[in-house]
Structure 1
Amino acid sequence: MHFLKSLSKLLLGSLLLSNLQASNNFDEEILSDTRKKTFDLNEEQIKEDSLKLKKDWINPINLQYTKYLGEDYKNEKSLISINQPIFRSGGIYQAIKYADSTYDSSSIQINQERKKLIKEAINFLYLIEKTNLNIKKTKLSVLNAQIDVNRKKEQVLNGFLDSSFLDNALLTLNDSKQSLITLKYQKIEYINNFNNISSKDYSEFELPKFEFFDEKEYIQRNIDLAKAKADIIKDENFKAITIAKYLPSVNAFYNYSKNHYTNGKPGLENSYEQDFGLTVTLPLDSRTFNDIESKKIEALKSKLSYKNKIDDEKTFYKNQVQKVNMLEERIAITKEDLGLYNSILTIIKEEKEAQLKTQSDLDTLQNSQKIKSLDLKIFEIDRQMELLELYVKLK
């Protein structure tokens, strides 16, 4: 698989990749052009929104032009008006900080969405490979079922078994064939889902191999917790903006107007007026206390949400560890089974040479051994899929 080195920064943190050829553009390569463009536009939008928020405290300059039409003379009038806050009890500074914190929160959210989509694509790669292994397993089961049908058929014809045994063997063979058909179409579905996300064919990618990392690192580098932290800062800044809204503010104003008489009528000369100064405002609103308290509660909720999120992520980590441990136990048991199959195969081969066992007996056992080997690979894929659920949350 062509994996970009920056995937470890973007998606997988400190993962260990085994026998992989690194690529510099994995995240850009695995996503379709339209999805990449969507993320790019989202990033541009939050930048513009943040810049707009930073400038929200700056009032517009009003320019007005009026033309009066009358019978005696024509008059044109220009007006420039500026009313700009220069002090809002800290509100201007907090508004700028709020814009920055809003950008940080939104940026992390986009990063979360991008990583989840990459993780989804990787997950489909795992599912496709897992289905390939299951197809191989089922084909071997079909071979074994066919061997069993032939054996039962011979035994029934020779009067050694009741026909019900042959019926059961035929049913097993039919079930295996039906399962094979289901798996083939399931693989097509996974490929279609992958193609819905990716810009390249699934066969161009290999599977990554992830390793464990400790809970401390998981919590420190958890992107969901980073988002919750950013939300705390954002809500605190918004609370400060709300409080400042009800405190004294100082505005500087400037007004300039000019009359332009255009027909040169005697006694009517061009004239202009201008005034400027400062205004101090203290808003009195019956809803002040409620508004401020509401924002304080929102900020407290963000802090509690962060603490709850830490507990949630610790629990999630422990549950994933348990799932991986369970799969590792299954892998260990399967390896023991393979050891038994190897020892039994040695005996069966010797008995076949001594004509105590048939070729069918040997083929059946060899197919069963191959099925166990495939089980081992499937369990390892399941293990990697569980680890992927952890890695996707690393920033």
Structure 2
Amino acid sequence: MACVLKLFAVTNGSVFSLHLNSRRRFHRRFNAKIKMSSSDAALPSLPDNRTVVGFGMTAVDFLATVDGFPKPDDKVRSASLKVEGGGNAGNALTCAARLGLKPKLISKVADDSHGFAILKELEADGVDTSFIVVSKGGSSTFSYVLVDNQTKTRTSIYTPGDPPMMPDDLSQSTLLSAFDGARLVYFDGMFPETALFVAQEAARNNIPILVEAESLREGLDELLKLADFVTCSAKFPQAWTQAPSIPSALVSMLLRLPNINFVVVTLGEGGCLMLERSANEDSDIEERDVESFLEFLYKGKDDSLAIPTCIPSAVTKFRANGIGTICGRFYIGTAEKIPDSELIDTTGAGDAFIGAIMYAICANMVPEKMLPLAAQVAAAKCRALGARTGLPRRTDPHVVSFLH
């Protein structure tokens, strides 16, 4: 009989319980799902409202794989070369489209060959490009990306488009048309002045806002104040808050940004960590030091599992020393363990994660389902070169079971 491991910890009179199914039964059930063909697997119905709007960068990526990153003055031969679409917003919305959403992209390209290729590729994937501004003259955004086959890391050289997007490029009537029927508006943090203009209009129309905080950028603070949801890179929370750790930084973010429902920080192969605000301010809820609490919660993580999982906490008052206290729930999301032979390129993995988060929000998924879905989609992307080639469609048998 498959055993169930119960891990109990008693602290200040509280009992926390984590139930971990036996590895054998878990893998048997999961592998059975994976073997189902896309025609046999029952797809869940699409979200009732699946229109999302994205604002930010779309680009062309020139990707070259090399056997080792070159040293100064070295010459190396590329093992392969690929040219395909890139840019945070363009990638995330492509991911959302393949999962079944109806995305509209607000961005800017030039009337050059790169701009034409960008529009053509997005349209082929089902992204509405009618709100992309095409400038006469100038240049579209592009990046050179070197992928190291040995370390599985990538280095990007980004060249912004010119002229940049400005508020005058968009009329209020254009925005109202873009927002028509929208369930969510996503911002990748680019074009800060115009992003704020668009976000303010979205807020006036009561449309939830998802902001990506990849790095410290001018104008990002004002954008974050309007956000309902935030996704961060691993370095951003501490850089922005100056907190001593990621858990305490997440507490600080929710205290400083009272409109935020949740914040997720992606940690690469370490998965992700999410803090969700709770409206429950019951005086009976126990207060815990956030550092010791997360240390305990991570003990429930089963490192032997290869597929993405989620470990939730109970609603708790989390205290960060010198910062304050917030009532909420933490969630530990694990990443898929990708075999070295299958790991090709991490370019755009964070964009894939965000595309899946957009789907989850539209589908009203609980975090326990949202985080494993996002991790699975990001892992699928990493099995191919470039930000978009590996993005799965909703019929992919490796994704179907995570959509339910």
Report the TM-score when normalising by structure 2: 0.15
More strand by share: 2
TM-score where L is the length of structure 1: 0.16
In our comparison, the structure showing a higher alpha carbon Rg is: 1
Structure in which a larger fraction of residues adopt helix: 1
